[in-house]
Amino acid sequence: MRRITGWLLCTVAALVLLFSYKTSTMGPGGGISAIAAGADDTGGDPGTTGRPGSAATSDSGSTRSGSAAGAGRYDGSVAQTRWGPVQVRITASGGKITGIDALQVPDGNFRDRQINDYAVPILRQEALAAQSAEIDTVSGATVTSDGYRESLQAAIDAAHLR
């Protein structure tokens, strides 16, 4: 379980780095943004214990909430990027990512919105690419031949076609 939790936290960190990279390389000047490393301890649902001792995530730069080990929501720390604060939340079940959302993105002006429109979908794609290695197949409403090429199943198949 510690291994799974660690993997999730690495993913949170990697996603924040990715986001920072995309935003900083798209802007003029190309300055490298600083990543805040401290934990953001404001998450955690009322009514849950927040972090059971066995999960031991509180010292790793993320906040975990939820009832079962390997499940729940993991909030990344707030990263100060060139364009403003960025924070992501990963939803996990059974030790696997089931969703990823940007909790905070810079939205001060038109250019920032453009950046977010571009970067947030990439965030999700990267998370799913990382996750697809952890599932063997995908069940979903009928995939036609046309839709297959962009599907997660196609990515899984491609990894094993030899």
Side-chain half-sphere exposure of 133, counting CA atoms within 13 A: 5
> CB of residue 125 vs another protein: minimum separation in angstroms?
7
Residue 41 or 45: the one with the smaller Cβ distance to another protein is 45
> CB of residue 110 vs another protein: minimum separation in angstroms?
26
Specify the pairing of strand 84-93 against strand 62-65. unpaired
> CB of residue 33 vs another protein: minimum separation in angstroms?
27
Q: Is the dihedral of CA 78, 122, 134, 45 positive or negative?
A: positive
SS3 160: helix
> CB of residue 65 vs another protein: minimum separation in angstroms?
17
Residue 31 or 162: the one with the smaller Cβ distance to another protein is 162
Smallest Cα–Cα separation from 15: which of 137, 134, 131? 131
Chain contacts with another protein (rule: CB under 8 A): 93-94, 96-100, 124-125, 128, 131, 134-145, 147-148, 151-154, 156-157, 159-162
The Cα–Cα gap between 84 and 33 comes to 10
Residue 1 or 32: the one with the smaller Cβ distance to another protein is 1
Residue 42 or 144: the one with the smaller Cβ distance to another protein is 144
